[in-house]
Chain A
């Protein structure tokens, strides 16, 4: 009897150890501190929530998902070192970073290792360099900025526009595309102002906007700086309508800017206020787990993991080499994989196509004004 129990215990131990060893390992490198801490923290929490859900339902192809998180400190140099370290551990898929500048310097490393990188960066240039291992979780600027420019020109009827942007890869990429599109449509850019990441005092920048007296202001900064400039715009009494992208009207920006965020409008690829039942469900589960409402970065992290799940299940095997090939051209329907939240298609560049939203901040809340259809 004793020997039977002993053999049983040993078998259990071996089986358990085997199952543990077969966990699918993901590596995440994100902005957990520094200027992008809001981005990275939301991204990380979204990833953890998705993994918890998937594992609770038996994992992917019967195997659990595991993730290691590393802090890029919002610094491209640190991100590169952390990604190299993560790749040395041979993960199935690399997740992150969220900042375009960090993605730009880390993408060649992942491509060289043949590991798929699912990231949060939105700079247009990221997916235009022919990297076959890089995928977005949200729109690139080449998709979103034409929609923004069209809204400023057609709906806001702005003949003159002030453009204020953060001087990094993210801001510069958005600025280049939006100015080109505005000019193509016939709106004149009367102020083109660069600002610094982490900048605290926007008095001079807003003074220049006031002096230019534009019909509309396009604001394209990181979240915390967006909150600061919104406060300063209100303080100096700028009444021109404000238009931005996701980073202008995110939950954290609204919380930080308070009343000053009211009236700001933006195009968002992802928002937890979207009139989509699956997104509302995500928002509830996230808020319950972390005690705050996530911004779009929480959605991005969550979707990244469900992209891994859907692609792997499509392949029917865990194959890091075949992963990118399978994801190119793949359409994932929310009816088949509810975790993907909305129907989505990935093109040959790794760019994403799905519905997007036009949002306005009303009484401290995001209100979706329009749902824009998939491009293709």
Chain B
């Protein structure tokens, strides 16, 4: 059990990334009943936008800014206006299928225009180790964890402590009443899409130095974040955060103490157990459906 601490830190760092991505699932679901099956590809794409900027000579810091801005335009604004809004009137299922098609489209486009091969990606966190409580921990794990926690803390503060956040929550919970009391619902929904785009760009920046920039890297990430969102509670931001951290830690502990061979199965078994015994997720709330 000597390396339990290391496993926990590494698991929390990976889990924090899952949490960032999973939060996007819950935000879009709450405000627009959208399940975005391209969420993994949304994390993959910003890294390539940043790489493209660097290829044409931009320094890393500028590439980060450009990448985040472009992500917000493409994965926030354009995604909402060109795909979600037109498809929404046909219902949730056609929209979900459209996002699956979008995932394939993004993957193939990146493969075509960049490369099928993986590329290295610079890290915003310096490589190296520090000693915490007698354990050597990588700065990268700590950095990823801290940035992700700050982002989630910022988001929850925005949602719970500001007027803008309250308007967003009102728009999410009951758009009709929100409109009556003067909340600009459409603008709040757009803001949610932009926040999701910012979060995935941030996740991309944090995780790509570890996962490497590759057109197919969104598959694993999207799946893990989706499981995290369901486990934590699809309709609660705090549930997505808890689910992400839980899946990250569980994956590492399962690999270390159960079997590396069956590590991929453990989160799935956990998911099935949660669906069977607490379908709304660990921190989610049960939703009633009108038939």
List A residues at the B interface (Cβ < 8 Å).
Answer: 32-35, 37-38, 40-41, 167, 193-196, 198, 200-201, 203-205, 207-208, 210-211, 224, 227-228, 231, 235-237, 252, 255-256, 258
Contacts and interface: CB of A to CB of B under 8 A. Distances in A.
B33 interface: no
B212 A204 contact: no
Interface in B108-158: 111, 115-120, 127, 129, 136, 138, 140
Contacts of A198: 216, 220
A193 B256 CA distance: 10
Contacts of A211: 2-3
A38 B215 CA distance: 12
A135 to B, nearest CB: 26
Nearest to B117: A38
B290 interface: no
Contact of A203 (B127, B129, B214, B252): B252
A227 B120 CA distance: 10
A208 B116 contact: no
Contacts of A195: 260
B24 interface: no
A193 B260 contact: yes
Nearest to B252: A204
Interface in B257-277: 260-261, 263-264
Contacts of A210: 3
B120 A255 contact: yes
Interface of B is mostly: mixed
A203 B212 contact: no
Contact of A256 (B140, B212, B220): B212
A237 B111 contact: no
Contacts of B231: none
A258 B11 contact: no
B240 interface: no
19 contacts: A33-B116, A34-B216, A37-B111, A37-B117, A37-B214, A40-B116, A41-B116, A194-B260, A196-B264, A200-B220, A201-B14, A201-B251, A204-B255, A211-B3, A231-B210, A236-B138, A256-B118, A256-B120, A256-B212
Contacts of A38: 116-118
Nearest to B255: A204
Contact of B7 (A194, A200, A204, A255): A204
Interface residues of B, number: 36
A167 B261 contact: yes
Task: Tell me the interface secondary structure of chain A in the complex.
Answer: helix
A227 B210 CA distance: 10
A47 to B, nearest CB: 15
B117 A200 contact: no
Nearest to B2: A211
B212 A208 contact: no
Nearest to A74: B216
A35 B116 contact: no
A-B CB proximity, top 6 nearest: A204-B255, A203-B10, A37-B116, A204-B256, A207-B3, A194-B261
A294 B215 CA distance: 20
A205 B118 contact: no
B79 interface: no
B270 to A, nearest CB: 16
Given A196-B263, A198-B220, A224 B6 contact: no
A340 to B, nearest CB: 27
B29 interface: no
B117 A41 contact: yes
Nearest to A255: B120
Given A235-B140, A252-B117, 13 more contacts: A33-B116, A35-B216, A37-B216, A38-B117, A38-B118, A195-B260, A198-B220, A200-B14, A201-B10, A204-B7, A204-B256, A235-B127, A256-B120
Given A194-B261, A200-B211, A237-B129, A33 B118 contact: no
Contacts of B111: 33, 37
Contacts of B263: 196, 204
Contacts of B212: 224, 227-228, 256
B138 A235 contact: yes
B129 A207 contact: no
Contacts of A256: 118-120, 212
B120 to A, nearest CB: 5
A205 B216 contact: no
A228 B220 contact: no
A37 B219 CA distance: 15
Nearest to B3: A207
Interface string B183-217: 00000000000000000000000000011101111
A248 to B, nearest CB: 16
